[in-house]
Amino acid sequence: MTATPGATPTIVLVGHGMVGQRFLEALAERGLTATHRVVVLCEEPRPAYDRVQLTSYFSGRTPEELSMTDMEFIKDHGIELYVGDPAETIDRDARKVTARSGLVVDYDVLVLATGSYPFVPPVPGKDAEGCFVYRTIEDLLAIEAYAKARATTGAVVGGGLLGLEAAGALKGLGLTSHIVEFAPRLMPVQVDEGGGAALLRTIEEMGLSVHTGVGTQEIVTDASGAVTGMKLSDGSELAADLVVFSAGVRPRDQLARESGLTVGERGGIAVDEQCRTVSDPHVFAIGECALAADGRVYGLVAPGYEQAETAAATIAADETEQLSFTGADLSTKLKLLGVDVASFGDAHGTAEDCLDVVYSDSRSGLYKKLVIGRDGTLLGGILIGDADAYGTLRALTGSVPPISPESLVLPAGAGGGAQLGPSALPDEAVICSCHNVTKGTIRGAVTEHSCTTVPEVKKCTKAGTGCGSCVKILGQLVTAELEASGVEVDKGLCGCFSQTREELYEIVLALRINTYQDMLDRYGRDGARGGDGCDVCKPAVASIIASLAPTIGASGYVLDGEQAALQETNDHFLANLQKNGSYSVVPRIPGGEITPEGLIVIGEIARDFGLYTKITGGQRIDMFGARVEQLPLIWARLVDAGFESGHAYGKSLRTVKSCVGQTWCRYGVQDSVRMAIDLELRYRGLRSPHKLKSAVSGCARECAEAQSKDFGIIATSNGWNLYVGGNGGATPRHADLLAQDLDDAGLIRLIDRFLMFYIRTADRLERTSTWLERIPGGLDHVRDVVVEDSLGICEELESLMAAHVANYADEWATTINDPEKLARFVSFVNAPDTPDPVVGFVPERDQIKPDLPLLTIGHRPLEGSAQR
């Protein structure tokens, strides 16, 4: 099969990763997709996805959410995208590329974006069953399947960026996790000895075992050939039944080698400053497969994007845009295992006669080092544990900062940090290194292109659309520029209210306003008063009223009167809506403790109603597939058996997970189950800006994963340690220690205060993790307020929580005892006995699943791409 280009010149792109997709966008921006045929040969079975955020798959982000490919873009620009069909040979004389399927494409320009491959040390047993690499979504799917089926202990070979992410992923899968790094410290390329020590302490506190300064000598296997352990270079052995190799990457240049293109001595396709190969003017190479003119292979996405821009500009032959790639900024900012890690500029101080300014706090896991020239120029730095200043510091690199270096590393409140903001940066400072966007360009987007929001600036400049590390400073710049231009920055909740959510909370509390309509009529903006409000403020104000219901004299039942019209979809039926229109039923199981009789009741209900059942990560049993009219029937039986709503549908407390604690476990030092049950029953039904999750671990082994929760408790021999602000979702965050060695009463008192302070001051739909990072003063301020009572409000916070506890009533018990409330649970109001015909199921693994059409990715070309 041969594809003939005819008179239209053809550009063939081999590889469709992040850099390949950026190249396509650069072609489109220069009009080349309108004048050229563009063909993409992609080896992976899916189009370009965000490899930088690969590990977020293990915290709930789907492969579809990781995708960077807009199929409308592919279609609109006539791009032929072939997935699962890599290029296998290049005939440079005939200018033809042959794909695995037999497809042959003639080219005028060939661009190689083949990326890199994981380096696996040549140790005996490296190919054993249970050995994996960590590079693609398919790798992650394989690791996940093997871990769930056969593994309890995992080991990662390599303590660099991906190695730490892989170790975190294994821990998240429930495996005891080890990291083996040949260098004397973790992340040896990015951080120095001090930074490595701070990182080591923090990671070991998370329960991961780190082995530095040793190499892997052999992978040990059993008689079946499956991994059972590792032999290390110091003579020790490490038990492990799953091994992930993450010991670096190598350029994928085999295709180039076989076609006779020049490659470097240590790999990489040799290119000039225009990213054209030195061997063939018709062939370009970009990204991790390219050996740049400065003799380096760049493994970060930002240099790859710059190379993609350079190659596209060169192909376009635009005399007004003559780009060249002569090197790139290697600065990085990541959140590894919930820990901020950043390095920029000359982080290791290799410049002659430079000085270090260091701040280290081993107790808090903080390490900050700046490298300063003798003339005061900021040359680079390393930030561990707190990288908020990264954007500003990286932009100041190469200049003399306007304040002393000491002030730049000291924490806020100690003479540093907050004193220097983006206003101190010069216009030529690069804010977004992924797309090389300067502060001046961002200011111009506001002043010249009338952008007033961060999304608008992102669309206008591409800033913040790469790795995302500059988004925070981007928002600060947009706000500062608007204010400098005399534009009043609207911080209101929505178009109906000029107040923030926090201000609305204070109004409701102070004036005892207990209806949304009263709130809108009295405090809504001109034009909104007397109206119906909007989908933003309705559920937000409803949540405020619900959280304060006992205090302000409102009904605590969310479907009473006006409140019912304000709720989001799930709250309307006190159940989670699923993808086929059915609902899930989630009874509360405090602490994960349940009697055999309770299990039998749930099993009988699931059997009688034909529901799909699953045990969740929060130690609950979900029953899926209930039609709306079945919900009251199901809940009547559950309530009769003593169960109550698990509030899986609401912005409220979900679960308090626990291990078995000292009652059963030989390592336990406190009764974690009792504490988890007490906490879940205390805070059940507490409406908040976002969902709340908690856990109690009976010892420092942390089996309940308390440090990934909004509030988590870990037992000590002296009492309880309280951690706050954790998040295991799409943007994981390690929780911070708020207080330690608390007795039962002291622990509950601080949680009461913390939760009510969060509910009082957080923005709409803001998790505790985001709130803790946003609120001025961060953790230190929260500690001052809820522990030291610096604002004098702790008594009020405790009183508000006491009112909630005293007035709690189960929503489903209330519903099934009221015929008027039950009337809403029908699919069709005018035909209440008719079930929804769209809700259908098919069998799978002896249960049911939604009967939906399968969404498949086609091959050669991908559905939605163009084919001329």
CA–CA separation, 851 and 838 (whole Å): 9
* Domains along the sequence of the chain with CATH: 2-117+251-316 (3.50.50.60), 131-247 (3.50.50.60), 429-489 (1.10.10.1100), 501-567 (no CATH), 647-807 (3.30.413.10)
Let me know: does 143 contact 154? Beta carbons within 8 Å: no
Let me know: does 165 contact 177? Beta carbons within 8 Å: no
Average pLDDT, consecutive stretches of 10 residues, N- to C-terminus, the chain (868 residues) = 61 96 94 94 93 78 84 92 95 96 95 94 94 93 92 92 86 89 87 83 84 94 94 93 92 95 94 95 96 89 90 80 73 69 83 84 78 89 82 81 78 48 73 80 86 80 73 78 74 84 92 91 85 84 90 82 70 80 90 93 95 89 91 94 90 93 90 95 94 94 91 94 85 86 96 96 90 84 93 94 93 89 73 69 85 44 49
Which residue in the block uniquely carries the two structure tokens 């300067």? 438
Let me know: does 725 contact 710? Beta carbons within 8 Å: yes
Let me know: does 712 contact 706? Beta carbons within 8 Å: yes
**pLDDT value at residue 417:** 42
**pLDDT value at residue 5:** 45
**pLDDT value at residue 775:** 84
Q: Could you count the other beta carbons within 10 Å of the beta carbon of residue 354?
A: 15
Let me know: does 609 contact 630? Beta carbons within 8 Å: yes
β-partners of residue 843 are 848
**pLDDT value at residue 22:** 93
Q: DSSP labels for 366-406?
A: EEEEEEE-TTS-EEEEEEES--TTHHHHHHHTTS--SS-HH
3-state secondary structure 421-481: CHHHCCCCCEEECCCCEEHHHHHHHHHCCCCCCHHHHHHHHCCCCCCCCCHHHHHHHHHHH
